[in-house]
Amino acid sequence: MGPPEGSAPMTSTVITIPRETPHRDHVLWSLFSTLFLNWCCLGFVAFAYSVRARDRKMVGDIIGAQSYASTAKCLNIWALVLGLLLTITLIAVFATVSAVNFRLYFRI
């Protein structure tokens, strides 16, 4: 069994689709910042910029998407740093106040 006689040779067509580099929009990081480290509403603002970056990416505006994503990343970094500093400060203050109250209560 072979190809039918008189038929044209089989040819193949190759279509090359350019790969786009994935651009991060930082939506998950912004959502985490919004829920857990929302210092001065930076997490919420970062989430808004992340959603805008995703919208721009879906429309095809790569430059706009990169701009919004960069702003969202910067806001997320600030929210993380300020949230960690606030948490560490509150733990230190609580520990100090507890130690002072312990000494006053037991007169050590």
What pLDDT is attached to residue 1?
Answer: 61
Confidence of residue 38 (pLDDT cuts 50, 70, 90): confident
In this structure, what token pair is assigned to residue 24? 């991060």
Q: What percent of the chain has pLDDT over 70?
A: 87
Confidence of residue 21 (pLDDT cuts 50, 70, 90): low
pLDDT tens digits for 39-65? 788 999 999 999 999 999 999 899 999
pTM: 0.71
Helices 42-59 and 62-106, packing angle to 10 deg: 160
47 exposure class (CB count in 10 Å sphere: 0-12, 13-18, 19+): buried
pLDDT tens digits for 68-89? 999 999 999 999 999 999 999 9
Asked whether the beta carbons of 57 and 23 are under 8 A apart, the reply is yes
What pLDDT is attached to residue 71?
Answer: 96
